[in-house]
Structure 1
Amino acid sequence: MRLDKFLKVSRLIKRRTLAKEVADQGRITINDKVAKASSTVKAGDELAIRFGQKVVTARVEELRDTVKKEDAAKMFTILKEERLEKIEPEFIDDEE
């Protein structure tokens, strides 16, 4: 199954167009490799998705073309959620 479709059906991301944009920005990895929206997802794959200052890591449990809202969470397991540290810009001293 395509990555963008999995993200929409599983409701990790609400809309397929948004899932495509996030993937095309390089903010999703499958098994530690940067993924595109058209990348293939299989059961057992590990996804890391960057949402702003947070990274959510999930394992794909099953693939379905359609699923009821209450069953969507069965398609994946959240392994961890991490907050990214804000990187402060360094100021350059021009007087040296």
Structure 2
Amino acid sequence: MRIDKFLKVSRIIKRRTVAKEVADLNRIYINGQLAKPSKHVNIGDLIELHLGLKVIQIKVISLIPSKDTLMYELISEEKRSL
């Protein structure tokens, strides 16, 4: 599954176009490497998102969207200062 679609269906980012813009601005890393919107994610991948002043690290645990379970595990969430 593409990273922009994963972020949308896992409900981390509300719209796929916003997820694509975040990736185009070089704010998404998968396993420590810069990711473009078309980069594929796999189960077990570590994703780091730089959203505004927040840095969120998650681990992919599922690629199948489900209404009752999360598709990721939150590893850390930090607020950066200016």
Considering the TM-score relative to the shorter chain, is it more than 0.5?
yes
The question of 1:18 aligning with 2:18 is answered yes
The answer for unaligned runs of 5 or more in structure 1 is: 87-96
In the alignment, is the contact (CA less than 8 A) between 1:9 and 1:67 conserved in 2?
no
The question of 1:82 aligning with 2:81 is answered no
Report the Cα offset of residue 19 of structure 1: 0.3
The structure 1 segments of at least 4 consecutive aligned residues displaced by more than 6 Å after TM superposition are: none
Structure with higher helix content: 1
Report the Cα offset of residue 85 of structure 1: 2.5
Larger Rg, first or second structure (1 or 2)? 1
Cα shift readout 1:52-88 (whole Å, capped 9, x = no counterpart): 1110000000101x432x43xx2000000111121xx
RMSD: 1.0
Cα shift readout 1:15-51 (whole Å, capped 9, x = no counterpart): 0000000011000000010101100100000000011
**2:80 partner amino acid:** L
The answer for unaligned runs of 5 or more in structure 2 is: none
The alignment-based identity, stated in percent, is 49
Q: How far, CA to CA, are the matches of 2:30 and 2:73 in structure 1?
A: 14
Q: How far, CA to CA, are the matches of 2:66 and 2:9 in structure 1?
A: 7
**1:78 partner amino acid:** L
Structure with higher strand content: 2
Q: TM-score, normalised by structure 1?
A: 0.81
